[in-house]
Structure 1
Amino acid sequence: MLRSISESAVRTGTSIHLIVPAEIKPGMIRAMRPWVHDYLSTPVLREAASARIKNILHVRRLEQAAESSSNGMLTWLARLENLTRYFEPLSYDASRSQDDLAQRIIRSRSGDRENPACFMVARTDGAAGLVCDIYTQGSSGVDRIGSEVTMPEAAIFYLIKAEEGATHVNYSDRGGSLADFQAQFPPEIHQTIGTIRNMTACRHGEVYFVAFNYGRPVTAQDSLFLKGLALPGSFLAVVAGDVQDMSKSFLVMVKTLAMATDSAGDNGAHVLRMNEYARALAESMDLPERFVKALSYSAQLHDVGKIYIHPDLLEKPLRLTHHEFDLVKKHTLLGANIIGDSPLLRTAKNIALTHHECWDGSGYPAGLTGDSIPLEGAIVKVADVYDALRTMHTYKPSYSHNDACRIILEGGGDGLHEIRPAHFHPAALQIFGKISHQFDAIYHAAP
């Protein structure tokens, strides 16, 4: 029977204290030890027993607080690790990060008294109002039950501001009634959440993080735990926003440079097509998203070095002399020098330098072969040859889509420019054959 009672006590978090006769044998004490937390022997003095039990309960509360703090620290570390491990400012998804935060905060099962039932993220709208997302536990996980709910910045939010960082409130803390406590919240919250009994909250910049209806009275420790979970993601969202703003300015400058140095005379259509060709090919090769993104803005700088090559030479209608061709080939080295050593332009530099290299070693400027050619350069080579074949120049006619594909996949040319399949990265060439219709669509869609 004692074993059965002990098992039930473990499930409910109850401790067992046994009163035993003074003459009990030591062997019986040892036999009961696995299921009993403490013993009192007869005769039991009321005062001594009361003090003993108070001490035991105090130790129990300390153990529970230590366990809660340990679990909280593990949750915080897990969220921080998840945020920092996968943080990529240019593709940071604030909404997904917010959903992950809600998953970690809201109670995961009925009867869970430690975690809140609801969680809200509220952002100021610049006009004394808030735009809020509200979460609660659903049948298959945490659900967003309110999205972009608008409400006024009511009294409770001014309290959060005044607390400078984090606050916690139980409806009974100041002796008021449950009804009085509800009056501090906008009706829009009640319509979504219902009756509110307690809350913890913190604020970072113009964003509030609020957790409602824990299964027990809330404490300062709860509000600090909420703050510890919420602030890293909020801070990274600000960093990502700043980086993305700078990235947009950077991409505008890259595009301007590419269009200013485009020798095709088509108002930049060629360089914009190069971005899209390269993106389509890289995506179809299942390359990493970060690589595809860098490629899709770097390809347009492939011929930036031609700014130093005289236009008459680039559009000469007759075969170039060896000396003239040597001058034209320098645009690869000149382009790499123009782009420089910025980490943001490392892909662009590789493209400018190697997009005329050939898989079989017959290209320039270094005669690289096989995998020694950077993949970005090999991909842009396919795109550049296709677009060159499709576009009319003074020294060559334009080819149809089908003819351009045939020349690339099977070999051919016009006598001035001989093209062979051995010039191209085998995987890139194979994928080009499968998605060449996308190249045709890009060619006709570009302005």
Structure 2
Amino acid sequence: MHVAHAIWNLRHRVTRSYFKSSSSLLFWLAARSAAQVALVFALTQLLGPEGYGSFVAALAIATLFTPLAGLGFYGVIVRDGARTPSTLATQLSEALSLWFPAALVFGSLALGTAYMTLPSNLHVPALAALVFGEIVSSSLVELLGRTEQAQHRAQHYGAMTAGLIGARLFALGSYATITHPTINGWMAAYSIASLIYALVILVCVTRKLPFTLPRKFHWSLLCDGLPFLLATLSLRIQAEVNKPVLARLGLALAGNFNIAQRALDIASLPLLALQEVLWPRLYTESSPLRRAVLPTILLSSLAGTVGVALWYLAPLVPYLLGAPYNGVSSLIRMLALLPAIQVLRNMIGVITVATNLANTLVGSYIICMITAIAFNLWLVPAYGMHGAIAAAYASEITAIITLSIVLAYNLHRRRTSS
């Protein structure tokens, strides 16, 4: 009886700690989304559909290259930092030493891509400021925030990412009080605010985890980060590659699709908070596959509820943004099933990592990226907005099938060999 009572109390404390961390993270994610909503609302009114579409298309290209600058270190730090906290400072130092040259290289590639693919109404210096500001600040804040998540302080990670959006919103407010914002002027203000904020976070984190230049690089860190890099890049490609293609058909189309995606992000906040807190816990479990069954069922059910809520609340969006954005409501309704599909994809990927099979995912994520690009290049020019929606679903379903096959095959092979 005493043993059963002790086990019950332990599980109760763990569950209570999980939901407490999730609720704290949810608060910061909600704050981040509130700032994001305010930013989207202000930009749609100040820049108009065409200007906002130009900004979104340029930002989409920058965010496609942002995971490359992180080199997959986000996932390595969460996984290994949760398992061996004593090595976290060393891991962060090595990651930062490799991150800086990577950010410069991939920032340059992103700028070249944006210059060649986007409409010519954007000034090159402003475009360069946006691209480098986004890649450097977002990848750095993400990397630093993951050190907090590895220490089971996911709410600190949420606060850091929320602060980045808040800094950009503050920059827009300050800029708008000085003069009427233009697309090129806003890109410069966006970059300055983002870089200043990232520098402040860097100073704060390295006070607790002192940075020391490694005498010898463990290049295996790059190999460890590859599956996480491809996973993040695959998600970004599926979410962002459609916008530059849509911009070719009409800048307003890219802006409308981005608004619909932001609506899905806001509605999915509880799902995101629960998943982010769950990842470090699964990484430390001895039987992660068994432990993940119940959370997967619960998260999928919650995702279905989110989809229903999106369907009924979608008509409210034009009342907030105005008549030029009337088409956003139908987009949100057509994308309402995506949160449930994305939960399943995320859980399969994390279970694979938690069972020490991360390296088997490399080929899977390459297939996911290629198919996502192919679907968008094929469907969007032919069918416009409906093609972008079809590509989003097709990419996610392809990813789930591919990842499930890889996980099932490797688990079967492991059981057979043992």
Question: Normalised by the shorter chain, which TM-score bucket?
Answer: under 0.3
Q: Which is richer in helix?
A: 2
Which of 1 and 2 has greater Rg? 1
Q: TM-score, normalised by structure 1?
A: 0.21
Q: Which is richer in strand?
A: 1
